Amino acid sequence: MDAAEHHVEETKEEEAAQVMETTTAHSRFGRICVFCGSSQGKKKSYQDAAVELGEELVSRNIDLVYGGGSVGLMGLVSRAVYNGGRHVMGVIPKTLMPREITGETVGEVKAVAGMHQRKAEMARQSDAFIALPGGYGTLEELLEVITWAQLGIHDKPVGLLNVNGYYNSLLSFIDKAVEEEFISPTARHIVVLAPTPKELLDKLEALFRQSDRKEICCGGSVPAEGTKSGGKRFGFRQVDKHQLVKMAAGFQIGVIGSLALSVASSVSIVLCNKALISTLGFPFATTLTSWHLMVTFCTLHVAQRLRFFEPKAIDGQTVILFGLLNGTSIGLLNLSLGFNSIGFYQVSSSSESIKLSLLVLLLGVGIASVTDLKLNLLGSILSGLAIATTCVGQILTNTIQKRLKVSSTQLLYQSAPYQAAILFASGPFVDQLLTNRSVFAHKYSATVLGFIVLSCLIAVSVNFSTFLVIGTTSPVTYQVLGHLKTCLVLSFGYTLLHDPFTLRNILGILIAIFGMALYSYFSVREGKKKSANDALPVSQMPDKEVEPLLATKDSNDTEKANGLSHDC
């Protein structure tokens, strides 16, 4: 160790000593998250350290955030804090409650959906982290908060209670990674190390004092009630004030751009398909949808190769069933549209069951369909079949995503080829039934081919803009944008297709759209309420809103585009 390093170490020790001399009741930490095992370990020293840590937190008036279990070291440290009169918050996945909670719970317990939500909530509630001895789970939680600190996601201190040298092997591994240049020397010092709870907390307090500066907290870390140190709390990555203003301005421009792109692409695909049908005489919308799906799959394949998302294997039988069902749903929706006018199809395809909003929505559909002279028995039967397959598809989607824990993007990537396959097979038949023309006998001019390519590219843009909007706005904003696009598409349908546009049509459509708006409001509100009750901090967005729009059962925009493509 050279003179400079020796001086730094002496300075740290002096500051730690100064902290030890101060009154412990004025700790700068309000709540500390403790990672530890659900087992007590082989040695009694591990159990003693857990109890001692809990008592040390109490002596410093620090509350506890932990994994929520009542067994093992978790139970020991939580009971020590709770019996000392401090607040205890346990965060535990519902699936682990039978395993990690026996008898009475300790303090406040929040049940969350899974491990990701557990870690996010524990991190959000805490000012610092301490790891007691533990197994895989403890190690995984510790390494994740270290990684977040390395990436600058947070600046909260991370402490390692190295009881009897328990973590010596881990520290040797980290040193080896630094030596081999996989971890930077700076990142090596993220972790504060000590053999006893008192010494560790003293070092964390000293580190806090060194970092005690004016901060701008970003990313949702806000002072909570009871926060120590004059309201200051360790938060997320710090930025300069002028930098923050520039970031906000850039963010606003990005939001406006994504909203504009979403509206433009959705309306553009309608106009492009309309040009293909009415002007160029290419009415084969189901076949065109299969091409959209193939282009979407290719785009997603490129995206996953560029690591925009991670693919996940799904059971072949499950994904084939899902793909075929949704492909059938799209085909039936197109058949339904062929026998119903666009007004009836477009409004009825958006209805869902929340009582008040559904009543308003059905009222609007009823008023609109009374004057809709193109509605007929066959069209109603086809609409019923389309709704049935769509509902089954929605249930299957929900089941697959929850059971296999896959995202909508992963599911679309796996199922798109099968959806495209069934539409490839059924598309020519459906299109010939609707148009009395064969897609194979059509003369493909350069202009037609150009518009087909353009339609596929716009379909990709619809997906891309959807991800942008969802990523930069709230669910309410996205839903409102959807209503705007609904109004625009309906207006184009009546204007370009010359359907009757009477006062009763207008009234019915407006009431139906109002019903859709009510549905969106109540569904988002209920989603937030459910998320709050289950303490899901990662995302308040209902899963259906993060699904791509193109050619999925929840895809209103694609249905709109296909709808205009069929009504010729």
Q: 531 or 42, which is more confident?
A: 42
In this prediction, residues 208-229 reach a mean pLDDT of 41
| Structure confidence at residue 369 as a pLDDT band (50, 70, 90) | very low
Task: Tell me how far apart the alpha carbons of residues 291 and 459 are, in angstroms, rounded to a whole number.
Answer: 10
Question: Which residue bears the tokens 């003369």?
Answer: 443
Q: pLDDT at position 495, please?
A: 65
pLDDT at 130 over 90: yes
Give one DSSP letter per residue of 8-56, joined into a string.
HHHHHHHHHHHHHHS-GGG-S-SEEEEE--SS--SSHHHHHHHHHHHHH
**How large is the average pLDDT for residues 402-418?**
74
**Looking at 115-119, 364-368, 512-516, which range is the least confident one?**
364-368
pTM over 0.85: no
The residue ranking higher by pLDDT, 220 or 477, is: 477
Answer whether residue 63 shows pLDDT above 80: yes
DSSP state of 236: B
Share of the chain above pLDDT 90, in %: 9
Confidence label for 251 from pLDDT (cuts 50, 70 and 90): low
Higher pLDDT, 423 or 508: 423
155-193 pLDDT, tens digit per residue, is 888 999 999 899 999 889 988 998 888 888 888 888 888
Residue 402 backbone class (left: φ over 0; alpha: ψ -120 to 50; beta: rest): alpha
Tens of pLDDT, residues 323-363: 777 777 766 665 555 555 544 444 444 444 445 554 555 55
* Domain boundaries, given as residue ranges, for the chain: 9-222, 257-340+376-473
Tell me the average pLDDT of the chain.
Answer: 69
Amino acid (1-letter code) at residue 535:
A
Instruction: Give just the sign of the alpha carbon dihedral 147, 96, 50, 125.
Output: positive
**Confidence (pLDDT) at 131:** 92
CA 244, distance to chain mean position in Å, is: 24
With contact defined as beta carbons under 8 Å apart, do 37 and 231 qualify? no
Q: Is the pLDDT of residue 247 over 80?
A: no
Which position has the higher pLDDT, 205 or 103?
A: 205
Q: What is the CATH number of domain 9-222?
A: 3.40.50.450
Taking the C-alpha atoms of residue 201 and residue 437, their distance in angstroms, rounded to an integer, is: 79
User: 121-131 burial string, b = 16+ CB within 10 Å, else e?
Assistant: bbbbbbbbbbb
Mean pLDDT of the 553-559 span? 38
Q: Tokens standing for 278?
A: 């009415």
pLDDT of residue 215: 38
- Burial of 251: CB neighbours in 10 Å, binned 0-12, 13-18, 19+: exposed
Facing residues of 129 across strands? Answer: 33, 158
**Is residue 272 scored above 70 in pLDDT?**
yes
pLDDT confidence tier of residue 499, bands split at 50, 70 and 90: low
Question: Is the pLDDT score of 69 beyond 70?
Answer: yes
Torsion (CA) 280, 284, 290, 291 in degrees, nearest 10: -20
Counting Cβ atoms within 10 Å, is residue 185 exposed (0-12), middle (13-18) or buried (19+)?
exposed
Q: Is the dihedral of CA 292, 306, 473, 401 positive or negative?
A: positive
DSSP 240-259: -HHHHHHHHHHHHHHHHHHH
Question: Any idea which of 15-24, 137-146, 411-420, 448-457 has the lowest mean pLDDT?
Answer: 15-24
Alpha-carbon distances, residue 34 vs 31, 208, 528 (angstroms): 10, 17, 28
Its sign, for the CA torsion 447, 448, 449, 454, is: positive
Residue that the structure tokens 């009836």 belong to: 344
Among 331, 338, 314, which Cα is nearest to 437's?
A: 338
Give dist(CA 300, CA 410) in Å, integer.
Answer: 9
Lowest mean pLDDT among 350-354, 491-495, 499-503, 515-519: 350-354
- Write out the two tokens for 348: 């009825």
> What was the pLDDT predicted at 490?
59
Banded model confidence at residue 33, pLDDT cuts 50, 70, 90:
very high
How many CA atoms does the CB half-sphere of 69 hold within 13 Å? 22
Q: pLDDT tens-digit profile of 287-309?
A: 888 888 888 888 888 888 887 77
